Chains A and B, each alone.
Chain A
Amino acid sequence: MAHVGLTHFLILSAILFSLGIYAIVVRKNAIMVMMGIELVLNSANINFIAFSHFGNYGISGQIVSLVVIILAAAEAAVALAIVLNLFKTYSHINVDEVNKLKE
């Protein structure tokens, strides 16, 4: 069994980030886009924790990732509220068609 090092975590994180970005860019459903954002945030969390674990930084990384989780929760709340309002206005939540400010 190969030794699991920092690189593996970073690769995982990168894959997660890429998937997240992919979800944000490609998905039309706002909820899916939000999920993509969660993925991106969590990939960042993995990076923090990995660096915290492998580097000589104490527990700062873990603390930051906790903050990020709280942030993500708050963000999810706000974003869901926005999505609800979007639905109220448009009766759908297709982000492609939410371009009223353009005009």
Chain B
Amino acid sequence: MPGSNLITLSLIILFLPLIGFITVLLFGKRFSKLYNFEIGILSANLLLTLYVAYEKLFVFANQKIAMDATWFSFGNIPGIGQLNIDLGIELTNITVMMLFVVNLISFLVHIYSTEYMKGDSRFSRYYSYLGIFTFSMLGIVLTDNFLMLYIFWELVGLSSYLLIGFWYEKDSAANAGKKAFLVNRVGDMGMWLGILILFTNYHTFKFDTIFAQIGLGNIPFGSEAWLTAAGILLFMGAVGKSAQFPLHVWLPDAMEGPTPVSALIHAATMVAAGVYMLTKIFVILSADALTVIALVGAFTSFLAASIAITQNDIKKVLAYSTVSQLGYMVMAVGVGAYTFAFFHLVTHAFFKALLFLGSGSVIHAMHHEQDMRQMGGLRKKMPITYYTFLTATLAISGIPLFSGFLSKDGLLAGTYAFGLLTGHWTVAIFGFVVAFMTAFYMFRLVIMTFHGEPRNKEKYDHAHETPKAMTIPLITLAVLSIWIWYTPNPFNPEAGWFYNKMEVKTTVVPQDMRFNFMKTEAPEHETAEAEKTTAETHETVESEQVEGTTRVMHSEMYEHAMHEAHLPTMIWSILLAGLGILFAYIIYQWKKISADELAKKWPWLYKFSLNKWYVDEFYDKTFIGGTLEFSRWLSIFDNKVVDGIVNGAATLTRGVSAVSGWFDTYVVDGLVNFTAFFSGVLGFGLKKIQNGKVQSYVLVVVLSLILLFVMFLPFF
């Protein structure tokens, strides 16, 4: 099998962090320097990943490398047949790219944390948690089936929970961890139901088998609604993990965790897992499901961006910006531009990790001050942090020459083309408005933090540039936020190797459930009723997969629309980003317009945004309040009815016991006492005979003998 050594290496990459986790967890207390072992493991992992990624992308570029092993077998079940549960990993181009991203950022965060977490009382425990997180995240990336996906999905949820609540002495951190865990549970429940729908129908968890079955027209329960439902339920997992509306509330709170963790888990990798999963299952999403996904993503990105504008906590702004960008990616999957969704995932991972690590650097320098109103003027004190941070800000705002522009422009073009092809312009409008807002709030953040005069003189005087262990990761990530790594032409992502290495997948849902632009030019294969036709369709699917190497996305029609969308999108997005930056400068740098007066002018709008659209309050009143109210009712029911029954039973028992006790005391005891009394009386009488005088005994014996003689005399 080609590339079987790549499989072995991938398995090593997967399990090394687990070994690190176990070692550091068990022996970390005894050997305080053991965290270096975890860092060593990560660097080994990074080197291995580089090799695997190179081999996969440039040697086995068009082959899928996969390996399966039966985990356990249920044997031959009547009505189903042989039922095996397989575990396996697969390497596609997207997989190894993601593998590289996860390992690199994890490695950088490990380095960064040596300085950031210095002196923490649970230092080695922190590193072991990073180990288990890296292991679980790599599991999600490598898996080729839904079961392992779900298992690792839950494991990243667990490590996220552990790391958010890492400083559990703070109530807010402990609560944030709990909130993240519970909110994710809601999404994961839906995802699990989606997986079960597929498993019930195809008796396997493997992606490829399920996709091939659907490609044959064999849709769940023979109903189109079920296929759409499965898609939307699976999407719910992404809604939870990637913090989409309405489950986005946990991510901003997750900022209670250490900042490097926010960079690794809650900005770059774990929250992107939802989008990664969507790119994997994209082929089975029907038009309806895609529309839902696109609208949820678009709305989330708008909601989060509108909140980010008024937040004052530097990490909160970044958190909402993350939610907004994730909304972008989800929206891109929804409009069919999933390659750009993944592209944006990768570029976003780098620049958002950079933003978080940069903010961590600021927070570190300001002695754990997170409020931007206390900052200002830090540019002179922390030049490296400032320039790397600025790079990332330019990237996220979508300024040409930076990585963010490439992917953002691509996915906005996707929404534009979607508008052209289907007439759904809502998504595109949301997308462009958010592009403006993103540039605005990101520059607001930069200006408030780094420009102008220091607002808190005392803290400013103590601030200093952070040590090398923190600045080197920043520089690395800043370098990766430049366009040159992805494409030689800074205005055309499609010219670069990165875009062209991503696999183009053809959707496998039945023709009449696709968007028009995704329909293939072979409508006669639409209905696969006779077996002969089925076989024919199968062949078509196969030939399409082979054709995939010619890189036609969806259809010629779609390619055409994308092409048409390219120029207007570029102009609009640069214009809007520029406008956003301009506004930020006018308001916060030059202070031509006072932000406070704007807030006074529309107090309602300002409060609405500052209080995060009152989503948390709404959940507090409805779900949490409802649950509490329901619990109260249940407690009343418990107290009155259940306890009533129990107490009634107790009273009844007591009554019966009283009767039984009375019977015992007077009848049974009476009998017993009477027996004793009788014996006593008898004994008292008889004891007179036992006077201890031998002679009287002899007398009795003799008299009795005589009596006996007399009695027996008649018989002789």
Contacts and interface: CB of A to CB of B under 8 A. Distances in A.
Interface of A: 21, 24-26, 33, 95-96, 99-102
A25 B690 contact: no
A33 B698 CA distance: 11
B509 to A, nearest CB: 109
Q: Which are the 4 A-B pairs with shortest beta-carbon distances?
A: A102-B692, A99-B692, A25-B699, A25-B695
Nearest to A103: B692
A101 B691 CA distance: 10
B692 A25 contact: no
24 contacts: A21-B698, A21-B702, A24-B695, A24-B698, A25-B695, A25-B698, A25-B699, A25-B702, A26-B695, A33-B694, A33-B695, A95-B693, A95-B694, A95-B695, A96-B693, A96-B695, A99-B691, A99-B692, A99-B693, A100-B692, A101-B692, A102-B690, A102-B691, A102-B692
Contacts of A25: 695, 698-699, 702
Contacts of B691: 99, 102
Nearest to A36: B698
Interface string B649-693: 000000000000000000000000000000000000000001111
Contacts of B694: 33, 95
Contacts of A96: 693, 695
Contacts of B695: 24-26, 33, 95-96
A15 B502 CA distance: 139
Interface of B: 690-695, 698-699, 702
Nearest to A18: B702
A58 B40 CA distance: 119
A21 B691 CA distance: 19
A102 B693 CA distance: 9
A73 B645 CA distance: 87
A99 B690 CA distance: 10
Given A101-B692, A102-B690, 19 more contacts: A21-B698, A21-B702, A24-B695, A24-B698, A25-B695, A25-B698, A25-B699, A26-B695, A33-B694, A33-B695, A95-B693, A95-B695, A96-B693, A96-B695, A99-B691, A99-B692, A99-B693, A100-B692, A102-B691
B123 to A, nearest CB: 86
A102 to B, nearest CB: 3
A101 B694 CA distance: 12
Nearest to B701: A21
A56 B694 CA distance: 39
B609 to A, nearest CB: 105
A19 to B, nearest CB: 13
Contacts of B692: 99-102
A96 B694 CA distance: 8
Contacts of A99: 691-693
Nearest to B705: A21
A37 B364 CA distance: 119
A95 B698 CA distance: 13
A23 B565 CA distance: 147
A101 B697 CA distance: 15
A96 B693 CA distance: 6
B252 to A, nearest CB: 95
A101 B699 CA distance: 19
Nearest to B687: A102
B17 to A, nearest CB: 91
Nearest to B699: A25
Contacts of B693: 95-96, 99
Nearest to A99: B692
Nearest to A28: B695
A26 B698 CA distance: 10
B708 to A, nearest CB: 15
A100 B695 CA distance: 15
B689 to A, nearest CB: 11
A15 to B, nearest CB: 15
Contacts of A21: 698, 702
B222 to A, nearest CB: 103
A95 B702 CA distance: 18
A53 to B, nearest CB: 24
B700 to A, nearest CB: 10
B367 to A, nearest CB: 96
A93 B702 CA distance: 24
Nearest to A101: B692
A48 B691 CA distance: 35
Most buried by B among A21, A26, A100, A101: A21
A24 B693 CA distance: 11
Nearest to A97: B693
Nearest to B694: A95
Nearest to B695: A25
A101 B695 CA distance: 15
A77 B694 CA distance: 19
A17 to B, nearest CB: 10
A59 to B, nearest CB: 29
A100 B691 CA distance: 10
B702 to A, nearest CB: 6
A36 to B, nearest CB: 9
Contacts of A26: 695
A100 B702 CA distance: 24
Most buried by B among A25, A26, A96, A99: A25
A88 B702 CA distance: 31
Nearest to B700: A25
A79 B624 CA distance: 102
A65 B690 CA distance: 34
A13 B702 CA distance: 16
Contacts of A100: 692
B153 to A, nearest CB: 90
B141 to A, nearest CB: 98
A38 to B, nearest CB: 15
Contacts of B698: 21, 24-25
B705 to A, nearest CB: 10
Contacts of A24: 695, 698
A63 to B, nearest CB: 27
B542 to A, nearest CB: 114
B695 to A, nearest CB: 5
Contacts of A101: 692
A4 to B, nearest CB: 25
A25 B695 CA distance: 5
